[in-house]
Structure 1
Amino acid sequence: MKQDKSISVLMFPWLGYGHISPFLELANKLSQRNFTIHLCSTQANLTPIREKQYSSSSIKLLELPLLTTNLPPHQHTANGLPPHLMDTLKQAFDSSTPQFTKILKTLKPDLLIYDFLQPWAPLAASQLNIPAVEFISSSSTMTAYMWHDLLKKPKGIEFPFSSTIYYRDYEMASIERSKEIIPVEKIEADKNRVGQSFVLSNHIVLIKRFNEIEGKYSNYITSLTGKKIVPVGFNLIKWLNTKDKRSTVFVSFGSEYFLSEEDLLEIAYGLESRKVNFIWPLRFAKEEVEIEEALPKGFVNRVGERGRVFKGWAPQAKILEHSSIGGFLSHCGWSSVMESMKYGIPIIAMPMHLDQPMNSRLIVEEVGMAVEVVRDGEGKLHWKEVADVINHVVVDEGGELVREKANRMKEIIRFKGDEEIDQVAKELEMLLNS
């Protein structure tokens, strides 16, 4: 296929925001690389996407009608659907094969990218000589575990990564209890549809993963199935390798706190105005919120290659230890503070609640390895204050002392860490022997 010809792709996710969102993220990236994208879903899912004005000239939305009288149109989505109706939705989804085939015949895409629950979609594409590739939005780790469970566990072969990747006893007990409630035939049917969706993918499978931490699991999937695993997302470490030493800010507020709309915008404006590189994993209380609607309009395009913004989790320790990281914009949770000390990274402190304000005072006033972004008298954040503190900590000569003290903490921890653990062990032994 010629490079100057736009490649037409039909994307077909499962009917839940947790699946539609990664498909939209992939669609947005591909649309910037000479791909024309059509995304197919039910009206109940497409309406909120249209309201958010997510679609662009290269991303078109196509409705898949579900011809069922058992569910009203507003329930043609997995979002907020009562659990007892999920099987009804799956049945209606499976029954839409003729409508989906009609869409394929009309659109004639160069490629179908589909989800894990609809093996009938790649079969329909195959009958029309349209190649089809599965996109899995869960981790390579879980996918590797699943395929081992299907292919190797019945033969008594242990999962090769079981020392670190495993279910605890109570978690496994919960799984077994659920099997007692759900009919065996339903469990087997779901296993079959997931397995068939994978097997029917043409040569490769796309998986949303971090290459730097999940590579071995992808390799294991390939060894089990023969499918080449292609990572979707980006290699953060490879991107960091292109940045100058101490030039990049890591922005993270932990796993239990969601930024307010106001704070998020002020942080975004602050990052944009100071022209530093940054990595910013974003989390939202509602999973259907998209990055483009939460951030200032045009933000992602304006920051371009100097910023990486994405939904979800990031390998914090791996990022902080990289030589290009020059500052950590943090809520000052104690674990994050300790990790920053371990790697000698100065902190742009933005405490939120609980112990975080006290942690911030400690590292700012006593340790000297941080500078706090001070809010106004009403507790409001201002982008200029964010920008000025980032600049001071990462760029300005005036922040050299902060950077030196952060590096000093790294040296102290390196030399004292084992000594303190030895003392902990000694104290515990004395307690038990007293």
Structure 2
Amino acid sequence: MEPKKPTKKILMFPWLAFGHISPFIQLAKHLSNTFEIHLCSSPVNLQSIQSKLPRTPSNPIHLLHLNLPPSPELPPHMHSTNGLPLRLIPTLLNAFDKAAPDFTSILHKLNPDLLITDMFQPWAVHSAAALNIPAVFFLVVGAGTFSHSVHSVLHHGVDFPFPELDLQNHWLFKRHQNDPSDSSVGVATSRFLQLVKDLEVYSDVVLVNSFMEIESKYIDYLSVLFKKKVVPVGPLVALSDEKSDVLDWLDQKEPKSTVYVSFGSEYYLSNEDRAELAMGLEMSGANFIWVIRFGKGESVGIREALPEGFIERVGERGLVVDGWAPQMGILKHTSIGGFVCHCGWNSVVEAAVNAVPIIALPMQLDQPFHGKVAVAAGVAVEAARGVDGAVQREGVAKAIKEVLFEKKGEELSGKAKEICESLKVKDGKNIDTCVVEISRILESGKN
């Protein structure tokens, strides 16, 4: 007997960054067991995710092209944040806004029963509302970070109730600095403010890629601020069964003897920070795998990018990879004892799923908040920095030694394992709750 085909259509619409698209894809995979799922993005993004989608004909995820207007500065192959210089983020967002009529046409043609959307396109929820299509906001970053930001808007001048997330030192300076190169900060802020203003247009449920094990009080507070039910649907991660020489290299190392070093798919270290990180890794005495990425158009070799003689000095205890490595496969390997990362939310979630303590080196945007959430949860230490926020070799080395070789590391590892085990016990329950809430909205037929 053939399985019953879904009768309700859901259109999912993330912002054009892979860090946003990835959790949308993972949520889409889960929801496709119950609903007919359509995912909308730019052609270049959809092309890059084709291989990540399930190939089972029974529950396909339908891909819909959003056509952004091209320009000499932003041709179609650059309609993604992947590899895009920060200075071009406002240009991409402007092109995204100009695609609003095309999105409205998609809504008319598809006539979905529900829209699940991101924070960077306020026009999408208004277009849906005009057609009496309910819209659900899906928050792809942590509830701690977002509740801090919402609080600062709704209760300006009132202390945030969880002071462990308050920024200090160089982060305060950086946030109040007028840095024209970091135009993405202004972009994110303006869209965030619009989202808060438009909250009443959304349905009474907000989805968040998080879980109670590390963010329960922030999830609860976000619900108070939004005056909506906040439903954690995490952890949303991609499973990995990819083979790689990197994993073969790890097989030769002792358990928990190695740190994995990566700063995400869309952040590129400055020459100065890269050099200090290299020296910190060398000073730590730990084994390491370090994935280094360069921006589009940069023709720099690994040896050229690192301090002279670094590769030779670290020898067999270090492996430097250019561009890409199977992150989930690495993190679940028994040889990994720590994760040196920028604290992008997806990386924090993936570390939690694999019970790997974090050595936090946040770099920009919401990352310092995510780092503080991980520290407060007892699964991370933050590497000490210079007064201006620059990476310092001594801080990197000290944090790695703490995690791999000292009692502090045992405590972090124990807490990370406790959280991981709890997530295994609850496997699938967050998604079940999400399906129930979505079904309720669909049955009501209105926001």
Q: TM-score higher than 0.5 here?
A: yes
Q: Which moved more, 1:17-26 or 1:310-319?
A: 310-319
**Do the aligned partners of residues 83 and 129 (structure 1) sit closer, same or farther apart at CA in structure 2, a change above 3 Å counting?**
same
What TM-score, normalized by structure 1, do the two folds share? 0.55
Structure-1 residue corresponding to 2:39: 39
Give the secondary-structure state (helix, strand or coil) at the position aligned to 1:178.
coil
8 Å CA contact 2:142, 2:209 repeated in 1: yes
Query: What are structure 1's unaligned runs of at least 5 residues?
Result: 236-250, 271-279, 295-307, 321-329, 346-434
Query: What are structure 2's unaligned runs of at least 5 residues?
Result: 237-254, 263-287, 290-324, 359-372, 380-402, 419-447
**Do the aligned partners of residues 205 and 177 (structure 1) sit closer, same or farther apart at CA in structure 2, a change above 3 Å counting?**
same
**Do the aligned partners of residues 264 and 121 (structure 1) sit closer, same or farther apart at CA in structure 2, a change above 3 Å counting?**
closer
Cα shift at 1:268: 7.2
**Do the aligned partners of residues 117 and 268 (structure 1) sit closer, same or farther apart at CA in structure 2, a change above 3 Å counting?**
closer
**Do the aligned partners of residues 232 and 338 (structure 1) sit closer, same or farther apart at CA in structure 2, a change above 3 Å counting?**
closer
Distance 1:13 1:312 in 2: 29
**Do the aligned partners of residues 157 and 39 (structure 1) sit closer, same or farther apart at CA in structure 2, a change above 3 Å counting?**
same
**Do the aligned partners of residues 77 and 318 (structure 1) sit closer, same or farther apart at CA in structure 2, a change above 3 Å counting?**
closer
Distance 1:310 1:110 in 2: 38
Aligned alpha-carbon RMSD (Å): 4.7
**Do the aligned partners of residues 283 and 196 (structure 1) sit closer, same or farther apart at CA in structure 2, a change above 3 Å counting?**
farther
8 Å CA contact 2:338, 2:404 repeated in 1: no
Aligned ranges 1:158-169 → 2 under 5 Å:
158-162=159-163, 164-169=164-169
- Among residues 110, 115, 125, which one is paired with 1:112 in the alignment? 115
Distance 1:139 1:81 in 2: 24
Q: 2:18 aligned with 1:17, yes or no?
A: yes
Paired letter, 1:45: N
Structure-1 residue corresponding to 2:68: 66
Give the secondary-structure state (helix, strand or coil) at the position aligned to 1:219.
helix
Distance 1:311 1:24 in 2: 24
- Among residues 130, 136, 141, which one is paired with 1:138 in the alignment? 141
- Among residues 138, 149, 153, which one is paired with 1:150 in the alignment? 153
Post-superposition Cα deviations, 1:220-265, rounded to whole Å, max 9, x if no partner, equal 2222231211111159xxxxxxxxxxxxxxx988874479769976
Post-superposition Cα deviations, 1:283-306, rounded to whole Å, max 9, x if no partner, equal 999x9x99xxx9xxxxxxxxxxxx
Cα shift at 1:194: 3.6
Cα shift at 1:208: 1.3
**Do the aligned partners of residues 284 and 188 (structure 1) sit closer, same or farther apart at CA in structure 2, a change above 3 Å counting?**
closer
Percent of aligned pairs sharing the same letter: 33
Aligned ranges 1:321-340 → 2 under 5 Å:
335-337=408-410, 339=412
Cα shift at 1:35: 1.8
Distance 1:22 1:338 in 2: 29
Cα shift at 1:44: 1.1
Structure-1 residue corresponding to 2:99: 96
**Do the aligned partners of residues 135 and 344 (structure 1) sit closer, same or farther apart at CA in structure 2, a change above 3 Å counting?**
closer
Relative contact order: is structure 1 or structure 2 higher (C-alpha 8 Å, sep ≥ 6)? 2
8 Å CA contact 1:281, 1:309 repeated in 2: no
What TM-score, normalized by structure 2, do the two folds share? 0.54
8 Å CA contact 2:114, 2:133 repeated in 1: yes
Paired letter, 1:106: K
Distance 2:99 2:417 in 1: 56
Cα shift at 1:109: 1.4
Instruction: Report the number of matched residues.
Output: 292
Cα shift at 1:317: 10
Aligned ranges 1:175-254 → 2 under 5 Å:
175-178=175-178, 189-196=190-197, 198-234=199-235
8 Å CA contact 1:8, 1:109 repeated in 2: yes
Distance 1:212 1:334 in 2: 23
Give the secondary-structure state (helix, strand or coil) at the position aligned to 2:165.
coil
Distance 1:41 1:262 in 2: 24
8 Å CA contact 2:136, 2:203 repeated in 1: yes
Give the secondary-structure state (helix, strand or coil) at the position aligned to 2:232.
strand
8 Å CA contact 1:116, 1:198 repeated in 2: no
Cα shift at 1:181: 7.4
Structure-2 residue corresponding to 1:28: 29
Cα shift at 1:96: 0.7
Aligned ranges 1:328-367 → 2 under 5 Å:
335-337=408-410, 339=412
